[in-house]
Structure 1
Amino acid sequence: MFDVYFCKHKQSAVTKNGKPYDNVILQDKTGTIDAKIWDPNNAGIDDFDSMDYIEVHGDVTSFQGALQVNVKRVRKCKEGEYDPAEYLPVSKFKAEDMMKELLDLAGSVKNPYLHQLLEAFFVKDEAFIKTFRQSSAAKTVHHGFVGGLLQHTLAVTKLCDYFCTQYSVLNRDLLITAAICHDIGKTKELSLFPKNDYTDDG
């Protein structure tokens, strides 16, 4: 294995025998993989930290049913040697298409107060809209990628819209508004990629 990866996380540790090693999480657009540097003081291992882009030489092995990289050499990359966008996991759907569909659902809300609430966030607040479109819905559990929050919100809202066609007792305006807004706190709870980690507020 030989390629450039984004170092999402790096942590030093010690084996039972007292030998130092590094736990590393490597990331590219397809996702993440655990890696081990068993000889971190080797001359072939450049100094690097979390959030760096690194050129990795190593072997892919299986450990307890999961793939893992046994790192042999590391070179810290310089700016211009990589495109950060190539290392971010992204939604398989276009953000523009998802946002249009979500706004169409928001626009169908007839209650003037709920409609005004949705407009305040999803039409008039440009800073919020930009962050919402780029945010993930979680660190790892579900929709943990760029556009994940938008994709998750749209999916929940469409389900609620469907339920309203099956159960007339439901208040559609209230349910659609709640679905669209149910996770907007994630824009404050999680930082944007490439970090995608819990903030102090979160």
Structure 2
Amino acid sequence: MTESASPIVALSDLATGEEGDFFALLADRQELLTKEGKPYWRVTFRDARRDVSFPIWGDAPLAEACRTQWVVGEFYKLRALYRETNYGPQLEIRRIRPVEPTDEADGFTPQMCQPASRFDAKEMFADLVSLVEEAVTEAPLKRLVLDLLETHREELLVWPAATRNHHAFAGGYLEHVRNVATHARMLADRYAGLYPDLTPPLDVGLVVAGAVLHDIGKLRELCVTPLGGEYTPAGSLVGHILQGRDMIREAAAAQDADGEPLGAEQLLRLEHIIISHQRLPEWGSPKPPMTPEALLVHYADDCDAKFQMMRQILADDAAGGPLTSRRNVLGHALFRGDPLADAADN
């Protein structure tokens, strides 16, 4: 398309009724039928902070291009009018074309269309390393954890924690694991101080090591695409829990060959934290937590995942009134507050 010079804006910065040129990812395209049986397409364009889903009707000027040329997972430059409607956000597309190499001069990068953690990934990684260096006192265990982190540093900086539901964005893995490890260490310190007579004593270092590595198998379970995290074949057939246990065994075997072995029981307890951290078979764990260390990591993990789900529901739900819709990942409504009661109090 022939384009006149126009400043680039972000899709997420457009106000209702505002038109602009922006870059977006085609995240979804579904062929559907109207009540009259006529075909149309429902498409979703997104940047890092906004998704817009809307119909392209079968008789619209862009219908043929949508059907034959638009590719899910590709990036596009659009000129469009953004509107908030009773049916949700809509785009009236004036112009559209695939992104070209020259668009880099206007600031295009794939990352601008991909949701990301609000926290700096390098800082989160450094926080994990510092936590391990401080809390894991046994040298073989500390080396195993730090070696796994450093070996996979570049992946971890961009990895999502999941394909959906919680922390499903670039850097989400580190955000989630930092939260889990920090909270698990706090709980372990607290309970170790309250119950010094526990036999065997609560191993704070093992709790931190297990928390830092509990999801390490997601590096094999998932791959990263422009659409976000997607399951690998091994991820679908085996899952991250067993693959995480495999990665720890492989690292321990290499360390053993290098002359710094982990104790057999310590390795067993670490493996147990990994395979039990989701607690239930229907969630993927073959065994429930059977040690105090595994119990603390499970609840730190579950709390952080559920909190992120709740935070996202409260941010995204468009239902009016004091309660959200029940149609969400938690399966129940959340209370956001009663504005009428607040008004009466004031």
Query: Do both proteins adopt the same fold according to a TM-score greater than 0.5, normalized to the shorter chain?
Result: yes
Q: State the AA in 1 paired with 2:52.
A: I
Match of 2:90 in 1: 69
Instruction: State the secondary structure of the residue aligned to 1:139.
Output: coil
Residues 81-103 of structure 1: CA deviation (Å, up to 9, x unaligned): 23222212221111121111100
Between the two proteins, the alignment pairs up a number of residues equal to 197
- Deviation track 1:15-40 (CA, whole Å, cap 9, x = no partner) reads 23211111222221214232322237
1 or 2, which has the higher strand percentage?
A: 1
Which residues of structure 2 form unaligned runs of 5+?
Answer: 1-18, 196-201, 236-346
Q: Distance in 2 between matches of 1:63 and 1:182?
A: 43
Check if 1:133 corresponds to 2:157: yes
Name the structure 2 match of 1:146.
170
Q: CA deviation at 1:157?
A: 0.4
Instruction: Show the counterpart of 1:60.
Output: 83
Q: Percent same amino acid at aligned positions?
A: 25
Check if 1:106 corresponds to 2:124.
no
Aligned in 2, Cα 1:62/1:186: closer, same or farther, shift over 3 Å?
farther
Q: Over residues 120-179 of structure 1, what are the superposed CA-to-partner deviations in whole Å (9 max), with x where a residue is unaligned? A: 3112x1xx2211111111223121221110111001000011112211153211110111
Structure with more helix by fraction: 2
1:49 equivalent to 2:71? Answer yes
Alignment of 1:19-58 (within 5 A): 19-39=38-58, 42-43=61-62, 46=65, 47-54=69-76, 55=78, 57-58=80-81
| 2:120 equivalent to 1:94 | yes
Q: Secondary structure at the residue paired with 1:16?
A: coil
Please tell me the residue identity of whatever aligns with 1:91. S
Worse overlay, 21-30 or 80-89: 80-89
Contact 1:132/1:184, CA 8 A, preserved across alignment: no
2:224 is the counterpart of 1:201: no
Matched letter for residue 32 of structure 1: D
Secondary structure of the structure 1 residue equivalent to 2:125: helix
Range moving further from structure 2, 182-191 or 98-107: 182-191
Change (3 A) 1:193 1:63: farther
1:182 to 200, 208, 214: 214
Residues 221 and 232 of structure 2 are in contact (CA less than 8 Å); yes or no, is this contact kept in structure 1?
yes
Q: 2-side partners of 1:41 and 1:58: how far apart? A: 16
The farther-off stretch of 53-62 and 12-21 is 53-62
In structure 2, give the amino acid aligned to 1:162.
Answer: M
Q: Which has the larger radius of gyration?
A: 2
* Mapped partners of 2:188, 2:62: distance in 1: 64
Taking the aligned partners of 1:36 and 1:181, their CA distance within structure 2 comes to 43
Following TM superposition, by how much is the alpha carbon of 1:182 offset from its aligned partner in structure 2, in angstroms? 0.9
Structure 2 counterpart of 1:171? 203
Q: Equivalents in 1 of 2:58, 2:23: separation in Å? A: 20
User: Residue 14 in 1 paired to residue 33 in 2?
Assistant: yes
Q: Taking structure 2 as the reference length, what is the TM-score of the superposition?
A: 0.52
Which amino acid is 2:189 matched to?
A: T
Match of 1:121 in 2: 148
Q: Given the two structures, how large is their TM-score scaled by the length of structure 1?
A: 0.84
